[in-house]
Structure 1
Amino acid sequence: MFGGMQMTTSVDTASVRAAYEDVRSDSTDTQWAVFKFDGSRIACADTGSDFDKFKEHFSENERAFGYMRIQTGDEMSKRQKFIFITWIGPSVNILQRAKMSTDKAVMKNIVPNFAIELQLDQISEIDLKYFVEELNKAGGANYGTGIRDN
Structure 2
Amino acid sequence: MSGLDTPDILAAYDDVRNDKKDTNWMLLSYAAAVGNKLTLTQTGTGGLGELVGALDDEQVQYGYVRIEYANDKESTRVKFVLIVWIGKNTKVMRKARVSVESGDVKKALQHHHLAITAEERSELKEDDLVKLLRKSGGADYNGGRG
2:54: which partner in 1? 57
Distance 1:12 1:140, change over 3 A: closer
1:23: which partner in 2? 16
1:139: which partner in 2? 137
Structure 2 residue identity aligned to 1:88: I
2:4 touches 2:105 (CA, 8 Å); kept in 1? Answer: no
Per the normalisation by structure 1, the TM-score is: 0.83
Structure 1 residue identity aligned to 2:3: V
Per the normalisation by structure 2, the TM-score is: 0.85
RMSD: 1.8
Moved over 4 A (4+): none
Q: Greater CA radius of gyration, 1 or 2? A: 1
2:80 touches 2:111 (CA, 8 Å); kept in 1? Answer: yes
Are 2:84 and 1:91 aligned? no
Are 2:41 and 1:42 aligned? no
1:59 touches 1:123 (CA, 8 Å); kept in 2? Answer: no
2:2: which partner in 1? 10
Unpaired segments ≥5 residues, structure 1 = 1-8
2:84 touches 2:102 (CA, 8 Å); kept in 1? Answer: yes
1 CA distance for matches of 2:129 and 2:28?
18
2:102: which partner in 1? 104
What SS does the aligned partner of 2:97 have? Answer: helix
2 CA distance for matches of 1:87 and 1:137?
22
What SS does the aligned partner of 1:136 have? Answer: helix
Instruction: Give the total of aligned pairs.
Output: 140
Equivalent position to 1:32, from 7, 16, 25:
25
Unpaired segments ≥5 residues, structure 2 = none
What SS does the aligned partner of 1:79 have? Answer: strand
1 CA distance for matches of 2:127 and 2:68?
12
1:61 touches 1:91 (CA, 8 Å); kept in 2? Answer: yes
